[in-house]
Amino acid sequence: MASVLSIILPIFALILAGFACRKLKLLGPEAASEINRMVVWLCLPAMLFEATATAVWSHIWQPGFIWVYILGTLLVFIGTLIWRLRKSGDLADASIQGLSASYANTGYMGIPLCLLVFGDDGLEPALIASLIVICVLFALSVVCIEVALQGEKNMLRAVRKVALALAKNPLVISPVLGGFWAVSGAPLPESVHSFLTLLSNATAPCALISLGLFLAHKQSGQSQGSVALVLLKLFLHPLLVWVLAFWIFQLPPLWAMSAVLLAALPTGTGPFMLAEFYRRDAAVVSSSILLSTVGSLITLSLCLYWIETIRQASGM
């Protein structure tokens, strides 16, 4: 519990800082949206580009782990999307809520937690999961939202509009450009690397402060449905990954345990960033992030106890 608490406390502190700044009127009512826009247009694209441009593909090519984490994550995302779409009929909101149920906080929490539990061997699965969450799941959500926002009835025109919108979207184009850079084999110039690192490091703090600002003026009663998303994230997601990792793909123990631990993480700030960026109702997803982070104190502690039991039984 103490190890999990030490990783979660800074998250709460940043949310509380944003909350306090709004309540004390140090930042105005538009601050949450403006800070979030900075994250979406500058910080997160820099992180996506740097992550893909500097990735050593020979190190992260682990087909079994990749399939397990992608399938487990997409099953939760698609299942939640269909469920919410049938209830609301709004593809954009359903996509954001599907993201809330499947978007694990692999970067801010997953990497330090895996290093704490598995040592240096835990870094690779955490990095792979982060790339999957940010580059695959996030991009898929953006595509669904862009499709939902197009009112064009002609199919060819609609496809053209969606393609154009995606080509202008920094969250889609930055990892694509980073992938092309990685394929070229050219190293990033030191000055460019430093610039991207500075922006990347600001992503999580700014997103969490923006979340706190939003929560400070959120109206009560607007977050119905967040508990269901939290249950899906903290219980269904790791359960599906556990079945895939241990029973279907039968991954090596370290990779199987890391996959389950990474799936058990609470919801990251990605869904909130999209909700704010696309001017959708962010009340449900903001509550989901907060509640899942609180709930993960218990679920992650149980997960760590389970991992320790397996390691002792197998002599790892």
pLDDT of residue 221: 47
- Helix runs in 150-218, H state only: 155-168, 170-184, 190-201, 203-217
pLDDT of residue 277: 83
Give the residue from 160, 156, 105 showing the smallest Cα distance to 134. Answer: 105
Q: Tokens 């279907």 identify what position?
A: 248
Contact 306, 177 (CB under 8 A): no
pLDDT of residue 218: 63
Query: What does the alpha-carbon distance between residue 174 and residue 171 come to, in Å, rounded to a whole number?
Result: 6
Radius of gyration (C-alpha) of the chain in whole angstroms: 19
Whether this model's pTM surpasses 0.95: no
pLDDT of residue 109: 82
Phi, psi at residue 267, to the nearest 5°? -65, 135
CA angle 113-119-121, nearest 5°? 105
Distances in Å between the Cα of 285 and the Cα atoms of 56, 114, 227 are 33, 25, 10
Distances in Å between the Cα of 171 and the Cα atoms of 53, 199, 289 are 14, 14, 20
pLDDT of residue 136: 86
Chunked in runs of 10, what are the mean pLDDT values of the chain (316 residues)? 71 87 88 86 85 75 93 96 89 92 86 82 85 85 84 58 70 82 85 91 85 72 76 96 96 94 90 86 84 87 86 71
Give the residue from 26, 57, 73, 71 showing the smallest Cα distance to 232. Answer: 73
User: How is residue 86 written in tokens?
Assistant: 């049938």
CATH classification of 2-18+31-314 is 1.20.1530, yes or no?
Answer: yes
Query: What does the alpha-carbon distance between residue 19 and residue 217 come to, in Å, rounded to a whole number?
Result: 9
Contact 51, 203 (CB under 8 A): no
Distances in Å between the Cα of 210 and the Cα atoms of 10, 16, 225, 236, 273 are 15, 10, 22, 28, 9
> How does DSSP assign 51-86, residue by residue?
HHHS--HHHH--HHHHHHHHHHHHHHHHHHHHHHHH
Phi, psi at residue 104, to the nearest 5°? -80, 145
User: How is residue 80 written in tokens?
Assistant: 């939640």
Q: Tokens 């500075």 identify what position?
A: 198
Query: What does the alpha-carbon distance between residue 197 and residue 202 come to, in Å, rounded to a whole number?
Result: 9
Contact 132, 141 (CB under 8 A): no
Domain boundaries, the chain: 2-18+31-314
Contact 205, 14 (CB under 8 A): yes
Q: Which residues contact 8 (CB under 8 A, 6 or more apart)?
A: 109, 293, 296, 297
